Amino acid sequence: MTFTGYYSLGLERVGDSPVKSVTLDAQFPLDDGENAAVTLADEIETSLFLCEEFNPLGLIHASLATTRLVTTPTLLAVFVRSGRLESSDALELLEDVSGVRSWESNSYVQRARSLFE
């Protein structure tokens, strides 16, 4: 199976989103989107992989060859620590994403939320 989709090359190149096809491993125990994202991250040797899926997080992390896994709460925390984002804004963003992603009861997200309060 081949999956075609957009990927971003980084925040400094947001307007440059090429399309690339990857061949999916049918035996890989993630959905097609996650499978394609992990495969593409490994193929293009990206340095960071932003992940918003917490159920298969361990499997995604183990599947990345040389790429560093970063979650949305971690990214927000880095922005706060570096002074690029206020804690109140990070908390608001996390709340917005949590509602869309059904993270309200996720312990990882609850811990991140407490860091911004």
Q: Are 112 and 77 in contact (CB under 8 A)?
A: yes
Q: What is the mean pLDDT of residues 68-94?
A: 88
Domain coordinates of the chain in residue numbers? 2-66, 72-116
Q: What is the mean pLDDT of residues 75-102?
A: 88
Q: Which of 2, 1, 47 is nearest to 20 (CA)?
A: 2
Token pair listed for 91: 């908390």
Residue 93 has a CB neighbour count (10 Å cut-off) of: 17
More reliable by pLDDT, 35 or 54: 35
Q: Is residue 100 over pLDDT 50?
A: yes
Rounded Cα distance, 93 and 75, in Å: 11
More reliable by pLDDT, 28 or 1: 28
What pTM did the predictor assign?
0.64
Q: Which of 54, 31, 30, 40 is nearest to 5 (CA)?
A: 40
Q: How many CA atoms lie within 13 A of 67 on its CB side?
A: 23
Rounded Cα distance, 28 and 93, in Å: 32
